[in-house]
Amino acid sequence: MSDLKFKPLEELSYEEALQELEELVQTLEGGENDLKKTLLYFERGQDLASYCISLLDEAELKVEEVLKGDDET
């Protein structure tokens, strides 16, 4: 993971966002960063978590629509 340069969330797939989030958690758990980086990584982690949740919500809605369509036939 490159220091302090992040790819825009919209360009990440769910899998990429989750992997980056996992890497950030490991980095934060290592406790070897200064306060500025720690806060930046924490904020990015929060953004990634929200992004992953929104992608999962979208996928769930699509599945529900497909299942609803199957019920109507």
Q: Give me the pLDDT at residue 2, please.
A: 46
Ordered by start, the domain boundaries in the chain are 13-72
pLDDT by residue for the chain (73 residues), tens only, comes to: 545 689 999 999 999 999 999 999 999 999 888 999 999 999 999 999 999 999 999 999 999 999 988 777 5
CA–CA dist 4, 12 (Å, integer): 17
Q: Give me the pLDDT at residue 36, please.
A: 93
The closest of 51, 58, 59, 57 to 12, measured between CA atoms, is 51
Q: What kind of fold does domain 13-72 have according to CATH?
A: Helix Hairpins (1.10.287)
User: If phi over 0 gives left and psi between -120 and 50 gives alpha, with beta otherwise, what is residue 6?
Assistant: beta
Question: What residues have CB less than 8 Å from 18, skipping those under 6 apart?
Answer: 48, 52
